[in-house]
Structure 1
Amino acid sequence: MSQAPEPVRDLDWAPERARAFADGAADLWEELLRRLPELPVRRRWSAEDVRNAVAIPVPDEPMADEALLAYLRDVVFEWSAYLGHPRFLAYISGAGTVPGAAADLLAAGLNMNAGGWQLAPSAIEIEVALTRFFANEMFGLPEGAGGLIVSGGAMANFVALKAARDRRAGWDVRNEGILAGPQLGLYLSTETHVVSDRAADMLGIGWANVRHVSVDDGSRMRVDELRAQIARDRETGIRPFAVVGTAGTVSTGAIDALGDIADVCADEGLWFHVDAAYGGPAMLAEDLRPLFAGIERADSIAFDPHKWLYTPHSGGCVLLRDFSLLQGSFDAQPSYIHQDREVTHAGLDLGRYGPQFSRSFWALKVWVSLLAHGRSAYGRRISHDAELARYLGARVEEHPAFELAGPVGLSICCFRFVPPDLPEGSGREAYLSVLNERLMAEMQVDGRVFLSNAVLGDRFVLRVCVVNFRTEAQDMDAVLEVAEELGSKIDGELRPEDLR
């Protein structure tokens, strides 16, 4: 008789040990939440400093739990940037909801694979309910709409544009390949996020066949130029297949004329996709919702809960007007996943609706955050973020050392430091861009306030984006205080003689 192997239990921690270790990690988290406002957003490290501290050798034998928790404490409090800090105001990255973080621990502990229903029954039913809520109740798409939770906006836009290509190409691209028909054309604005260009690359369309339509003074796509570009391409044999409208540009928060773009797509038989990665959640705010008129006519929408729903990284969402089209674009049936549904009574296998077979339970942190806070609280806070950006814009206009770079859009305010005694001159504009570029870098490593930049025309400007439920008016005041302090110092070092 064969002899059974002896058990190997090294990785199988007892529940008591698991609880003790998790308690230690939770203690670090609680301390982080308590200390967060007093910590710098980041410190003045170099890549070498961080690498030497955190990239420790992997041991042959296990670290003691106490030593591992001490290592994690060092990572958390000495070598991390704090995107949940009330003065992290750069890019578009949410603060991370508290219930979402706890839910993420449970999702990891459950370790379900949301690619197959039998492997993740509750995960898939929650994800289906969540995406239907977004599609029907938040964006106003009709019955039959739905989608997926994915890793972020890049994947959400890619999935949507693959469905668009497969549906609108005019031949069986999945089977025959991209070269079996005429060259396809994709239409963006000059302000559309680069992830749509990258999607075109991955879909075999090529960057040279992505049309970047010019924008108006408000950074919105020029619909007249869109129509003209489509006509020009048809004349040269290019087959247009999709237009990407933007609901909240990354630089200024501008929202394209979505209804007008929808009209163009209807007239031309094109797929209408909306990149709402940033702005989409503003549909929950009653005062901001009217800005998105026309989004309900989209064939697909991409948005990121980890941006303006504040949920922990990562979690994007792709929605389709006709959810079934995702299966048409991604389905494959390997023999090893056969099941008898009359016996299993299983629901959807979401791995057949997107590019990933193995899928994390990303939906839980988003779902639990919505349940814990409710729609109304979300609407109030999103509206408040936009109000804070307008407050900063008003403070900028009142201050002699700052200049507003353009209208505040959603929760983004762009401005620049302009020394009050800086004279007019031929080199003035170029110097202001150099000065503000250096100022941004110094503010980022200073750690008191962390912001980013926008390039508006030829101007390099400072950019604040509020997608943080911890941020308040005093943090907006601190932006200008720190910018004036550091800007004046840098100006004293950098200003050329002919501008003194």
Structure 2
Amino acid sequence: MSMPGHAPPVPAPPTLLEPDLLAADPAGLADVGRLVTELTREAAGALRRRSGPLPAVTPQELARSVDRQLPDGPLPRTGGGRAALHALARACAAGTVDLADPRAAAHLQPPSLTVAAAADVLASVFNASVDTWDSGPYAVELERRVIRALAGLTGFGAGSDGVLTPGGTASNLQALLIARDTVLRDRRDVRGHGLTRLPVRPVVLCSELAHFSVSRACAVLGLGEHAVRPVPADSAYRMTPEALDLALRSLAADELPLAVVATAGTTDFGSVDPLPGIAAVTREHGVRLHVDAAYGGGALFSDRMRPLLAGIEAADTVTLDLHKTAWQPAAASVLLVRDRAGLEATTGLRVAYLNPDDDGEAGYDGLLGHSLQTTRRADVLKVAATFLALGQEGIGSMLEACHDLARHAATAVRSHTRLELVTEPALTTVVFRYLPATTTDPEACDRINGALRRRLLSEGTALIGRTESGGAVRLKLTLLNPQARTTDIDELLAAVVAAGRAVESGTPQPTVPGPAEPADRKETPHE
């Protein structure tokens, strides 16, 4: 009993896990909150000891460190409870990539927003699935409305539809599946009989810089990778309408184009194919148009950058990746279709135990018929949370901030005697090259550029990307941290130059400590 005038003692959080405690149970929800607080506290402590976006270790050193941290492996006979989870959180934060560090600029992999990550916890807690209405009723209704909003933002009309997918690769696969089945529908029931003895050779046309998922999709769909007809890109790394028109006119008599894939934001350069002209060519030839805007689709949120995507409304299908330029935790991609009939005809599926006809007629339909998946997580929760919290303007301003950083980086590269800009940034990607002072031999230059990037990786001080253009190794900044400053970009480029000079001079790699081992801290109830 508490004394008068004194608050009752606060019960200590449990030190052990209750194995049968379910997350969505009221008591489980409370424990989820405690666990998230504890794990993020442990992770924050480990992050404070970091000195860069990556751990300063080689892959071999990190592998040995993980083995030391898990002496009984990841599946011990007896669990370690909360203490084991705390140690895991510390080890993860010490050894993972820190995308919030402004020196992390290698990939189309942004830091996720707090609001999205928090809402993602709810998706895990309730574990809803959107394949059937009764597996996740609220998430089903929410996804329908988010898809409707994104389709409207793209310029699609009332007959449009779409679906959330695990990533751009899955979205592109489904888009080409729809194209395959739609174009071949009058020639063959390919879903029932396959592509054997087909009297035509289906092909897909795309830029030579299109994402590799186009070729992968053609392989999965039974078309074969050789069904892809790459169209040469111009000096700005874009597929031009003239080149596309020539490619279509040059097809053999027995070749049937299933679709043209335009890229709005190439992975290598961030370049955007001229969509209005390409749409005009596809209309003239009567070919379907898919726009892979996995990267560039974020421009739809920005009034300033939206003109880059003029013409996207003419596409039959569009891929958007919200885990790129909407700062969502992976996975959050979207496939939008201008005509929902194509989506329903291709992926529509009715199964007695999931979505029987009479349930559908009564309104109890989920989204099974929209997707190639069955069980599908309620990823829409984090997306809706972000949209509601930030609005279109908030997301658009974040992309604009990153675009400003890219333009600053391009200016800084142009003004540096040891750096060479490859092309002006269209989105947030800056491609450049370190120019050695000691040699102009192309092979030696390639080796130095590759080596300086690995030097930065092993030191953990900076994370930059690389690509190849014209057979030459190029360096790449993919700037997706809207909180980074121009001074961060200047420091990043200075680190590149310093690493290049060190590689040229043969300066030995500095010895750096490995990731901190998770401390064997004594867990106390009030810690």
Both structures adopt the same fold (TM-score exceeding 0.5): yes
Match of 2:392 among 369, 375, 386: 375
Partner of 2:424: 407
* 2:106 aligned partner: 90
Taking the TM superposition and a 5 Å limit, the aligned residue runs for 1:187-206 are: 187-206=205-224
- Pick one of 461, 467, 471 that aligns with 1:454: 467
Q: 1:69 to 1:115 in 2, by over 3 A?
A: same
Q: Is the 8 A contact 2:203 2:229 kept in 1?
A: yes
Shift, 1:78, TM fit? 2.3
Does residue 325 (structure 1) correspond to residue 345 (structure 2)? The answer is no
Letter aligned with residue 453 of structure 1: R
Structure 2 residues without counterparts, runs of 5 or longer: 1-17, 508-527
Distance of 1:36 and 1:131 partners within structure 2: 39
Q: RMSD of the TM alignment (CA)?
A: 2.2
* 2:164 paired residue number: 149
Q: AA paired with 2:474?
A: V
Aligned mates of 1:373, 1:60 — CA distance in 2: 46
The verdict on how the C-alpha distance between 1:168 and 1:344 changes in structure 2, with shifts beyond 3 A counting, is closer
Q: Deviations over 1:359-389 (max 9, x none)?
A: 0001111111111111111111111101100
Per-residue deviation, 1:286: 1.6
* Pick aligned residue for 2:176 from 156, 161, 165: 161
Q: In the alignment, which residue of structure 1 is the partner of 2:323?
A: 306
Amino acid at match of 1:214: P
Aligned to 1:6: none
Q: Does 1:177 align with 2:194?
A: yes
The 1:384–1:482 alpha-carbon spacing in structure 2 relative to 1, beyond 3 Å, is same
Flag the 1:37–1:201 CA change in 2: closer, same or farther, 3 A: farther
Q: Any conservation in 2 of the 1:184–1:238 contact (CA below 8 Å)?
A: yes
Q: Is the 8 A contact 2:21 2:27 kept in 1?
A: no
Aligned to 1:249: 266
Question: What is the match of residue 4 of structure 1?
Answer: none
1:11 equivalent among 11, 14, 20: 20
Query: 1:338 and 1:487, CA in 2 relative to 1: closer, same or farther beyond 3 A?
Result: closer
In the other structure, the counterpart of 2:411 is 394
Q: Does 1:125 align with 2:141?
A: yes
Gaps of 5+ in 1: 1-8, 495-500
Q: Is the counterpart of residue 115 in structure 1 residue 126 in structure 2?
A: no
CA distance in 1, matches of 2:373, 2:448: 45
Alignment of 1:329-348 (within 5 A): 329-339=346-356, 341=358, 345-348=362-365
**CA offsets, 1:103-138, max 9 Å, x none?**
11101111111111121111011111111111112x
Q: 1:267 to 1:37 in 2, by over 3 A?
A: farther
Query: Aligned partners of 1:343 and 1:460: how far apart in 2?
Result: 55
Indicate how the Cα distance of structure 1 residues 367 and 343 shifts in structure 2: closer, same or farther if over 3 A, else same: closer
- Range 477-486 or range 384-393, more displaced: 477-486
Match of 1:213 among 215, 231, 248: 231
Return the offset for 1:84: 3.1
Tell me which of 388, 406, 417 is aligned to 2:434. Answer: 417
Higher helix content, 1 or 2: 1
Q: Are positions 1:40 and 2:55 aligned together?
A: no
Deviation at 1:251, TM superposition (A): 0.8
- Distance (whole Å) between structure 2 residues aligned to residue 328 and residue 49 of structure 1: 51
Q: Which position in structure 1 is the counterpart of 2:251?
A: 233
Alpha-carbon displacement from aligned partner over 1:34-85 (angstroms, at most 9, x marks no partner): 85796421111425225415652423333222x2232222333322222233
User: How far is 1:240 from its partner?
Assistant: 0.9
1:150–1:362 CA contact under 8 A, matched in 2: no
Q: 1:173 to 1:52 in 2, by over 3 A?
A: same
* Aligned mates of 1:314, 1:36 — CA distance in 2: 27
Identity %: 27
Q: Distance in 2 between matches of 1:38 and 1:46?
A: 17
TM superposition shift of 1:394: 0.5
| Counterpart residue type for residue 287 of structure 1 | R
Structure 1 contact 272–299 (Cα < 8 Å) conserved: yes
The TM-score with structure 2 as length reference comes to 0.86
- Asked if 1:76 is matched to 2:92, the reply is yes
* Contact 2:171 2:319 (C-alpha < 8 Å) held by counterparts: yes
Name the stretch that deviates more: 438-447 or 299-308: 438-447
Q: What residue identity is the alignment partner of 2:445?
A: L
